[in-house]
């Protein structure tokens, strides 16, 4: 069986367009434009695509263009699902195509419900989280239709190293995903500016959440003209910073393990190195989000680069699982001392 190149190309376009859509969605939240268009599925009572360009002003620009780009992604996903269904012999891939279509429909409905129910936190968080999950499904479809997936030759990696690499790769992916979920909760509970300093948090490495410390943090808020932060908001914010540290350790650990392993080829080593670059950009954008008091382009860049880091870590796991085969470790030569004679 060989890969269908046009189909693979189309799956890639769908995944890349989704990444663009995540930036457009992030702009809606970062600019507070979520309710600039109060109705759904229509836009100010008109069929979405009949809405005049001349009326695209203020927050409507962000909200309406997000809906239009989302429709394009919905259409691409529908075409992809049908194309896979008609041309791919693997039943599980055909199911995955339909799963992608179901996910994009649920995502669109969640987007609509966010508007109709005036941005309730759980729905907004779910909309943010499903966006990233849908992106992973789109990457899976692109990978399983690629030439690499159909190649039969595997690069052998000896047992111990292979297990270690897999553990690091899963840890990195899992922690980045968890971090995105905490990020979404942080964003939609208004906890993004619960602390306004960086790299310290509330003036300390490990902040106190007692009344005196909270008063001090809120005094800084008052001087900056920000709303008072609650203890819950501060805890969510600090948790996001702690998880960032855990994710950083996993990503750097994975990159070092890849780099040091002579059995791993250059391409995967480079993937590990790019993960570290994406991580550094992500931390810088996170710090800048706080220090600029959520400048909207920087904040959206943080969400967008977070999605890119997630997608990249996922692709690394897929490649490691598919393209590198486990080779049993060679049996150790054991020199046994004759009975009764102490071993040297």
Q: Among 263, 251, 262, which Cα is nearest to 312's? A: 251
Q: Which of the stretches 103-111, 152-160, 220-228, 321-329 binds ligand HEM when contact is defined by CB under 6 A? A: 103-111
Interface with ligand HEM, residue 244, by CB under 6 A: yes
Dihedral of the alpha carbons of 301, 291, 133, 147, in degrees to the nearest 10: 40
State which of positions 136-175 bind ligand HEM (CB under 6 A): none
Distance CA 93, CA 81 (A): 9
Interface with ligand HEM, residue 112, by CB under 6 A: yes
Q: Which of the stretches 3-11, 100-108, 256-264, 322-330 binds ligand HEM when contact is defined by CB under 6 A? A: 100-108
- Please list the alpha-helical segments (H only) found in 88-158: 91-116, 121-144, 147-150
- The answer to whether the beta carbons of residues 196 and 290 sit under 8 Å apart is yes
Binding mask 33-52 for ligand HEM (x = CB under 6 A): -x-----x------------
- Name the minimum Å distance from CB 119 to ligand HEM: 4
- Name the minimum Å distance from CB 86 to ligand HEM: 23
Q: Which is nearer to ligand HEM, 261 or 313 (CB)?
A: 313
Query: For residue 323, what are the CA distances in angstroms to 62, 162, 309?
Result: 41, 12, 21
Buried b (16+ CB within 10 A) or exposed e, 91-125: eebbebbebbbebbeebbebbbbbbeeebeeebbb
Q: Among 254, 20, 18, which Cα is nearest to 141's? A: 18
Q: Say how many CA atoms lie within 13 Å of 54 toward its Cβ.
A: 0
Interface with ligand HEM, residue 303, by CB under 6 A: yes
What residue is closest to ligand HEM based on CB?
Answer: 192
Interface with ligand HEM, residue 316, by CB under 6 A: no
Interface with ligand HEM, residue 188, by CB under 6 A: yes
- Name the minimum Å distance from CB 128 to ligand HEM: 3
* H or E element, residue 67: helix 59-87
How many residues of this chain interact with ligand HEM, rule: CB under 6 A? Answer: 54
Interface with ligand HEM, residue 124, by CB under 6 A: yes
Binding mask 271-300 for ligand HEM (x = CB under 6 A): --------x--xx--xx-xx---x----x-
Interface with ligand HEM, residue 114, by CB under 6 A: yes
Dihedral of the alpha carbons of 234, 239, 240, 245, in degrees to the nearest 10: 140
Interface with ligand HEM, residue 128, by CB under 6 A: yes
Interface with ligand HEM, residue 64, by CB under 6 A: no
DSSP 152: -
Interface with ligand HEM, residue 70, by CB under 6 A: yes
Interface with ligand HEM, residue 309, by CB under 6 A: yes
Distance CA 102, CA 270 (A): 34
Residues in Cβ contact with 124 at an 8 Å cutoff, skipping those fewer than 6 apart: 29, 34, 114, 184, 188
- List of residues contacting ligand HEM (CB under 6 A): 21-22, 25-26, 28-30, 34, 40, 66-67, 70, 73-74, 104, 107-108, 111-112, 114-115, 119, 124, 127-128, 131, 134, 176, 179-180, 183-184, 186-188, 192, 198, 240-241, 244, 247, 279, 282-283, 286-287, 289-290, 294, 299, 302-303, 306, 309
């Amino acid at each position: 069986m060989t890969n269908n190149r046009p189909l693979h190309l189309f799956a890639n376009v769908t995944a890349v367009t989704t990444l663009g859509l995540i930036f457009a969605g992030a702009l809606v939240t970062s600019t507070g434009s979520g309710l600039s268009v109060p109705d759904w599925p229509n836009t100010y009572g008109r069929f979405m695509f009949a809405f005049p360009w001349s009326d695209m002003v203020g927050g409507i620009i962000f909200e309406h263009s997000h809906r239009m780009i989302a429709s394009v992604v919905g259409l691409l996903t529908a075409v992809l699902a049908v194309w896979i269904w008609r041309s791919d012999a693997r039943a599980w891939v055909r199911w995955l195509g339909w799963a992608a279509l179901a996910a994009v429909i649920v995502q669109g409905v969640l987007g609509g419900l966010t508007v109709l129910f005036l941005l309730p936190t759980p729905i907004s968080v779910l909309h943010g989280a499903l966006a990233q999950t849908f992106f992973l499904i789109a990457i899976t479809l692109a990978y399983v239709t690629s030439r690499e997936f159909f190649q039969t030759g595997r690069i052998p990696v000896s047992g111990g190293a292979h297990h270690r690499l897999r553990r690091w790769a899963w840890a990195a992916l899992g922690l980045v995903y968890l971090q995105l979920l905490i990020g979404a909760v942080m964003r939609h509970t208004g906890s993004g500016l619960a602390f306004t300093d960086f790299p310290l948090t509330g003036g300390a490495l490990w902040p106190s959440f007692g009344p005196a410390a909270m008063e001090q943090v809120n005094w800084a808020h008052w001087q900056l003209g920000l709303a008072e932060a609650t203890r819950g908001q501060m805890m969510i914010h600090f948790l996001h910073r702690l998880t960032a540290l855990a994710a950083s350790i996993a990503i750097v650990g994975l990159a070092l393990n890849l780099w040091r392993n002579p059995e791993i080829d250059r391409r995967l080593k480079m993937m590990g190195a790019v993960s570290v670059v994406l991580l550094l950009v992500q931390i810088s954008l996170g710090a800048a989000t706080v220090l600029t008091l959520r400048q909207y382009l920087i904040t959206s860049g943080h969400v967008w680069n977070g999605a890119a880091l997630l997608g990249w870590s996922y692709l690394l796991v897929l490649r490691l699982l598919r393209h590198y085969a486990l080779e049993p470790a060679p049996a150790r030569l054991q020199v046994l001392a004759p009975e009764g004679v102490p071993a040297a």
